[in-house]
Amino acid sequence: MREIVLDTETTGLDPFTGDRIVEIGAVELYNHMPTGEVYHQYINPMRDMPAGAFAVHGLSIEFLSDKPVFATIAKDFLDFIKDSKLIIHNAAFDMKFLNAELDKCNLPKIPMTQALDTLAIARKKFAGAQNSLDALCRRFGIDNANRTLHGALLDSEILAEVYLELIGGRQPDFVLKVVQNSGRDTPSGDYTPPQRPEALPSRISADESAAHVEFINELGGEALWKR
């Protein structure tokens, strides 16, 4: 059974008001084990980057300016996911963006039935508890120390571990295989995520922090959907 654990980063909250995808990361699982096959792509959104979004993922327009537009990578992306089940945290958000981008390219949309929402699973299993990705990492003892900023591929790797805990527990060697397939030295060793912008600030400025809070607050009840 092939599954794809997937995450996106965007310029904002709503593709129907001009927001775009800026990063896609995906990890292939086969029979609930990582195969080592991943998909990772930065994308030029052909628009500005709101301060609140930048504070979430640290991807500037300067960094993204020489990256391909979505239309250029759409076929490769679809060829990677095929008709496999897509494991996504808050699937409605990512699927909305992916299908909006595919629609712009006059390509078939991905059916919602192809997506499995780990947020919905967590809410059913842990009703009333915090079920953000970070909260689930704490619950399951999953190391997410490298998640100082959102990154689509890193978040997909973390979500793969969370997903298998949600459906019954990781196999004993799952973490080691994720580490080996991702190029890490040891499960607790130093890990360098896919290259981030060189100009990433070591600290978020007060203005950027305020913009981030405003950006997240716009999500209302879903304010911590990926934190």
Which residues on neighbouring strands pair with residue 25, listed in sequence order?
7, 40
Angstrom distance (rounded) from CA 85 to CA 214 = 34
Structure tokens at 151: 């990154």
Please choose, from the candidates 40, 34, 39, the residue with its C-alpha nearest in 3D space to the C-alpha of residue 187.
34
DSSP annotation string for 83-117? TPEEEETTHHHHHHHHHHHHHHTT-PPPPGGGEEE
Helix (H, G, I), strand (E, B) or coil at 225: coil
End-to-end Cα, the chain, rounded Å: 29
Determine which one of 32, 57, 89, 150 is catalytic. Answer: 150
Is 57 one of the catalytic residues?
no
Residues near 74 by beta carbon (within 8 Å), at least 6 away in sequence: 101, 102, 105, 107
Q: Which residues are catalytic?
A: 150
